[in-house]
Structure formats: C-alpha cells, structure tokens
Structure 1
Amino acid sequence: MTWQLPDAVTIVEVGPRDGLQNEPGTVATDVKIGFIERLAATGLGVVEATSFVSPRWVPQLADAAEVLAGLTRRPDVRYPVLVPNERGLDGALAAGVDEVAVFGAASEGFSRANLGRSIDESLAMFAPVVTRATDAGLRVRGYVSTVCGCPFQGEVPVDDVRRVTTALLELGCVEVSLGDTIGVGTPVQVQDLIAALTGDVPLDRLAVHCHDTYGQGLANTLAAFEAGVRVADTSAGGLGGCPYAPGATGNLATEDLVYALDGAAVHTGVDLAALVDVSAWMADRLGRAPTSRVARATLAKRALADEVSAAGSATRDDSSA
C-alpha cells in the first residue's frame, strides 16, 4: 500500500495545554515556560500555550497569565490559548495573545460533562467570544470533541459532527479541529467522516486531533492527511488525556508523527532529534520516562551508542597503558 500524502503539513503542538492539563501533580510555571520555549525552538510553527479556564475545573492551568507573561515568544511561532467563555477571553486579551480557540462537542453527553451546557447552549456561549476575538484582530480556532465516539453515549452520528463543525465556521472560526477524544476511531472511519463533511466544509478549514487510546492515533492522522486534511494536533511525548473522558489516554506523540512523515518525505519543519530531547526533558520534570515509541527507541539507541563509545575508549586506554 502506498500512502497518498501531501508534500507538507502543519503540526499544532498541544502538549503544554492538552498534554499537561490532566497531570495529577502541579507542574511549576517555569517548567511550563521552558517546555513551550523548547518546543518552539524545534521548528514547530504552532504551540498551544495554555488555557484560560476556571482554576476550579482545571487547576493545572491556573497560572495561564503567568506563563504567557514569562514566555519569550518567537516571531515565527503562533501561541494560541484555549478560552471557554467571555471571561476566559478577557484573560487572554489582557495577556496579549494573538490567537484563541473555543471547544465544543459533537455529543450532548460530553458537552454537558465538559461545559455544563447542551450543544446549542455552548454554541450560543461561543458566539460573543468569537465575535469579540475577531473584532480584536485575533485568529479563532474551534475544536469539536468526540467526533468518533463518546464515553457517555457511544456512537456519535456524522450529522451531529457536521452540525457543530459548520456552526463553528459560521460563527467565524477560521479552522475546526476534529477530535477523537477517547481514541476509538479507525482509519476508515476517519476517512469516511472527512468525506461526509467535505460537501459542507472546505478541507483547508479542517484539522484532526487524534488520541491514541487504542493505538490508532498515528494511522488515523495519516488517514486524515491522505483524505486531504493538512493540519494535525499532537502532543510531545504523548502527554495528555481528558479529565472529562473516562479511559482516554494521551494524544498522538508529536515525535511519532514527525518520524513517520520524515520517512515519507513530508515536510513539517520540525527537527526530530531536538523534539525527542524536549520530550525527554519534560518527562524528566514529570518524574517518568517518555511514553512515545519514537522517544523511547531514540533514547535507547543513544544510550547504546554511548555505551559502545565508552567501551571503545576504555579498550584504547588499556592498550596504551
């Protein structure tokens, strides 16, 4: 089988926000800043920095303003933040952001668990957020969760995904990311979903956000690229999960996707070796090994090379003695 992949794609790094939001222990503000700045230095063009949500709901991201205040921003990198409502937008505007995102769901059960509102009520809440942000010159992105399945209702009809996606675009979002929040999708399902949407939604307005709960994140993202999507969300080191999706594990690891795309000569602009270094750095700060396959394999290969080099040096020293 030959993948029909594009020449270039855009990776939206969500590790600092979606990756860290579900961490049980508090991550220090300076560590978050270091994580974002290291990610931006790898060649990633978009690094989602944080979220202006209520600390009561996501205490891990209570320091959003402090993170942005301490961040040295690169001129060639976008640093979007998530905002759930107008209060969140107020905080984002005060922090001087250039881009925000709103997040809805394609299932009623998840919308009520995540936002405390029905789908229609959430869209009504987003309307003034998108309008105010656009009027302020900000780029606005939309997320649609549970596009391949919901932890509360199970199957999610394609028509519901279409309704929320088109509503977000009509509100003024320039792009909508389709989220397989619990990672139950398969490549054929992803391609069928994208095909079903393209009659109403331009492909260049879509992105994908595939969690890796069932090990399908990479295949699903490549399937979306083959179907014509050109933007994907990933998380360095495979960090992440969702506090409102029982059983959902991490996002697709950024380095796993970059490795696959490098092998297919698809341009991402990302330095894979540098990215692995960042994932290892962040994993060390969290007190555990990286979970991504590429990071583990690369670090093991480096360790072996170091051992061989050290053994060779010892042999040469013994010979000269």
Structure 2
Amino acid sequence: MYHQLSRTLLKKLSIDVKLIHNRSFVRIVEVGPRDGLQNEPVNVPTKVKIEFIDKLSETGLKSIEVTSFVSPKWVPQMKDSAEVYSGIKKRDDISYPVLVPNVKGMESAMKVGVKEIAVFASASEGFSQKNTNCSTQEGINRIKEIIDIAIKANIKVRGYISCVVGCPYDGQVHPSSVTKVTEALLSHGCYEISLGDTIGVGTRATIESLIKDLLNITTADKLAIHCHDTYGQALVNICIALEYGIRVVDSSVSGLGGCPYARGATGNVATEDLVYMLNGMGIDTGIDLKKLVEVGRYITDFIKKATCSKVNNALYSKYSK
C-alpha cells in the first residue's frame, strides 16, 4: 500500500521514478548523536551516548556522526567527545565521522584516532558571524588549515554548508553564495559537501534552483542533502535532490536536533521517516526499520522527549509487541 502512495506522491511532484530507480541505493548519514543531541538541555551521560551509537551501528547504517570536538564552554553536551569516540564499538564497514570546528579540535580528534572529520562553513554572512564569530571567507580560511592537517594524516574530510536556502539573520540566501562556498571546500579537499537547510525554509522550487546552480561547478556524487523539517518540507526537498542524482542524505533518528536560532524549529528530518519513504520508492538503504524505530525510542525516552518521527509513532507499538 505505502509503495503505491509513494509512487503517487512522486508523480505529483513530477519526479521521474525510473531515473531514481536507476541508482537504487541511498547512503544515509545519521547525525543524531552529534547534531541531534548537541543542543538538548538534558545532559546525556557518556555511557548512554555510547550505547545509543552502538545501537545505531546494529541497524545497518553505514555512516554515523558520533560527536563534535568543540569547546565544552560553547557546547556542554559534547564535553565528553574523546570518551564517546574511544568508547564506541567501531565496525569496519561503518564510518564514524566527528565534527571539528578548529585546529585545536582537530588535534584532539587525532589523539583518539579519528578516520573521518566534518568541517562546516556558512553560505550566509550573518549566520557565520553569529555561529563562528568570523566572515564566511575567514571561516573557509580556517577550514583550509584543518583540511591540510587532515590530508597529511590521511583523514577523510566532509564539508557542511549551513543556511543554503535561508538565514535567520540575512533572510533568503542566493544559490550563487552556496556555489561559491561549495567550490572552495571541494578545491581545498572535501570529498563531499552536505547542503544544510539549517532553518528548514526550503521548498521544491528553492532546492531545485540551488542544485541546478551547483551542478554547473560539480557533480551530484559530490553532494549530500541535509534538511530540517521546520515547515514539513524535508521529505519533499529530499525527493528533489534524488531527482537530480544526489544519493547521500543526512538525517537524525526521531527527528532530534534543530537550529536554536530558527523560529519554531522542529529538528532534522527523522531517519525513520526517510527510510520508510525510500523503502516505498524501492530504494535500498540497507537499514532495518524495526531496529531503527527501537533506537529512536531508546534515546527519546531517555531525554524525556516525544519522538518527532511520524513513522516511529505509527510503528513503535506494533514492533514492541
């Protein structure tokens, strides 16, 4: 039944289903342990974080962003980053990237043997100043320092760009601003760029316009999509990305996370909802939805927060019987 519903939705969106099925695997980057938890007011003990990540490793996910090596002064929830990374059970077939904001964070990450990092820039000057206290160009220069160190150490680097559609301070962001930052990060050595709709204002038209502009300077296999669901458009926007050949999607189990600067922010697109949709489209993710639902409920129960995943709400009672 849900297979037919998904196909109907795609037809309404004028998306070529055959085009999507020609490349029928999507890699999901689970960002719940980092992006999902970093702004949560409830302190999550190291032991719980480790168990959370280990449970995610059993679902079939191939990329799990573990933590952020950032100053605990700015992000107290990530103060145990080294302990968390060292404590998780690492599988050879799973990537466990960590976010690194500066050279000091890079050095700390290297001490515990990280094999992949993520760096972040903003397409918006206002957000860059607020979030990192520097201009977009200054941020890119800082990132280059980090990437140079990583490349010498044979560490993979993934790039994030925030506010690819809209900014809480500057308003609408033009695609050319995103393209400029993307081109810089790729030239400095990022293997992939994740396009973050940080405040969740993207629509089909704005995401399509953005991707078209980006494909003038790079290819779809260098891009990932990272949608927040503030206005309920995340899955629609992901479908647009799929139409244009993007096959990497960031998401957070149970929809954890969200930008603290976004009015009414409801968090990242929920991994459970994303997997359910992709299953209905005949696209493989390699993920066990039942296990994923259980992990989503595990962490939301601990932080005493209702799941933001509609699929989790619909299936948890069925799976828990």
TM-score range, shorter chain: over 0.9
TM-fit CA distance, 1:189: 1.6
Amino acid at match of 1:173: C
Matching residue within 5, 18, 24 for 2:41: 24
Out of 267, 271, 290, the residue aligned to residue 288 of structure 2 is 271
- Deviations 1:89-139 (Å, cap 9, x if unpaired)? 001101110000100000000001111100011011111100110110010
Q: SS in structure 2 opposite 1:73?
A: coil
Q: Which of 77, 82, 91 is the aligned partner of 2:108?
A: 91
Give the equivalent residue in structure 1 for 2:67: 50
Give the corresponding residue for 1:248.
265
Answer whether contact 1:182 1:247 (CA < 8 A) is retained. Answer: no
What is the one-letter code of the residue matched to 1:78?
S
Query: Which of 100, 109, 112 is the aligned partner of 2:129?
Result: 112
Whole-Å separation in 2 of the counterparts to 1:202 and 1:99:
22
Kindly provide the amino acid, as one letter, of the partner of residue 165 in structure 1: T
* TM-score, reference length from structure 2: 0.92
Structure 1 unmatched ranges of 5 or more: 307-321
The answer (yes or no) to whether the contact 2:254–2:272 under 8 Å persists in 1 is yes
Contact 1:110 1:244 in 2 (8 A): no
Contact 2:97 2:117 in 1 (8 A): yes
Q: Could you tell me how far 1:175 is from its partner in structure 2?
A: 0.4
Mapped pair 1:261 → 2:278 = yes
SS at match of 2:171: coil
In structure 2, relative to structure 1, the CA distance for the partners of 1:3 and 1:276 (3 Å cut) is farther
CA distance in 2, matches of 1:247, 1:94: 38
For residue 243 of structure 1, report the CA deviation from its aligned partner: 3.2
How far 1:81 sits from its partner (Å)? 0.2
Separation of aligned partners in 1, 2:263 and 2:291: 33
Cα distance in structure 2, aligned partners of 1:94 and 1:245: 35
The 3-state SS of whatever aligns with 1:51 is coil
Correspondence for 1:151: 168
Aligned-residue identity in percent: 52
Q: Equivalent residue for 2:255?
A: 238
Tell me the residue number matched to 1:220. Answer: 237
* Amino acid in structure 1 at the alignment position of 2:187: E
Shift of 1:191: 1.6
CA distance in 2, matches of 1:302, 1:80: 30
Distance 1:285 1:23 in 2: 12
* Structure 1 residues 187-226: Cα deviation after superposition (integer angstroms, max 9, x where no partner): 2221221011101011110001000000011111121111
CA distance in 2, matches of 1:192, 1:160: 12
Counterpart position of 2:147:
130
Match of 1:69 among 74, 86, 91: 86
Bigger Cα Rg = 1
The residue identity in structure 2 corresponding to 1:239 is L
Is 1:40 matched up with 2:57? yes
Q: Distance in 1 between matches of 2:128 and 2:231?
A: 23
Identify the residue that residue 281 of structure 1 maps to in structure 2: 298
Q: Please tell me the residue identity of whatever aligns with 1:187.
A: R
- 2:215 pairs with 195, 198, 206, which one? 198
Report the Cα offset of residue 245 of structure 1: 4.0
Computed over aligned residues only, the root mean square deviation of the Cα atoms, in angstroms, reads 1.2
Q: Secondary structure at the match of 2:158?
A: strand
- Cα distance change of structure 1 residues 284 and 3 upon mapping to structure 2, 3 Å threshold: farther
Q: Is contact 1:188–1:223 with CA below 8 Å preserved after alignment?
A: no
- Matched residue SS, 1:201: coil
How far has the Cα of 1:301 moved from its partner? 3.6
TM-score in terms of structure 1 length? 0.92
- CA gap of 1:244–1:56, structure 2 versus 1, over 3 A, is farther
Distance in 2 between the 1:248 and 1:161 partners? 22
1:175 counterpart = 2:224:
no
Inter-partner Cα distance in structure 1 for 2:108 and 2:203: 38
Give the secondary-structure state (helix, strand or coil) at the position aligned to 1:287: coil
CA distance in 2, matches of 1:105, 1:254: 24
Q: Which amino acid aligns with 1:263?
A: G
Q: What's the CA shift for 1:247?
A: 3.9
The residue identity in structure 1 corresponding to 2:160 is Y
Contact 1:181 1:248 in 2 (8 A): no
| 1:183–1:100 Cα change, 3 Å | same
CA distance in 1, matches of 2:72, 2:60: 31
Report 1:298-313 matches (<5 A): 298-302=315-319, 306=321
